[in-house]
Amino acid sequence: MSAASKPLRARASVLDRLLDAEPQRARDRTKTTSQTVEDLRSAVQRDVEHLLNARRPWRSVAWPALRTSPLGYGVPDLTAGAFNDEEAREDFRAEIEDAIRRFEPRLGQVQVRLAEQASTLRATLALSIGGLLMIDPSPEPISFDTLVDTTTADVVLRLAEEV
């Protein structure tokens, strides 16, 4: 069977299957493939947002084996950075891209781009995060519009309208 004729298979992560969105129901409803893919997109959005809102107190982990351990989870504290500086914004963009590549295996070919700022007076940093949602047999593009509040360090992700 060729990849084009194989049915699209998407399955929620073990954690997402264990979480019960409807505890009052004895059995979960059967979902269509499109509902499962939509749930997977939402789960990836939620998990990437949690990753980017997790702080680690250092820029880099000394031992390479620890980079993918819980000690390396998250991004450096960005409130200490001066984001008026192009180099600081680029460093933070690279940290975000690296963290997503290390801790979100459901996304492939991750690219993080600095979005154009409408005003340099706002205390936010706009990013565009894109990649492929790894679904068998053919990955689907996914994109997030991301806002980082540089005063509170809060990161908010929204699924981009057009991928």
CATH number at residue 71: 3.10.450
Residue 154 CB coordination number (10 Å) = 13
C-alpha dihedral sign at 148, 149, 151, 153: negative
| Separation of alpha carbons 56 and 50, rounded Å | 13
57 in a structural domain: yes
What is the structure's pLDDT at 82?
61
Number of structural domains found in the chain: 1
Domain that holds residue 101: 31-159
88 in a structural domain: yes
Q: What is the mean pLDDT of residues 103-116?
A: 93
Q: What is the mean pLDDT of residues 68-82?
A: 77
10 in a structural domain: no
List the 107-114 sheet strands across, edge first. 107-114, 124-133, 140-149, 155-159
| Separation of alpha carbons 112 and 54, rounded Å | 18
- For 27-58, b where at least 16 C-beta lie within 10 A, e where not — what string? eeeeeeeeebbebbbebbbebbbebbeeebee
70 in a structural domain: yes
Of 137 and 44, the structure prediction assigns the larger pLDDT to 44
pTM: 0.81
Q: Which two tokens stand for residue 8?
A: 């699209």
86 in a structural domain: yes
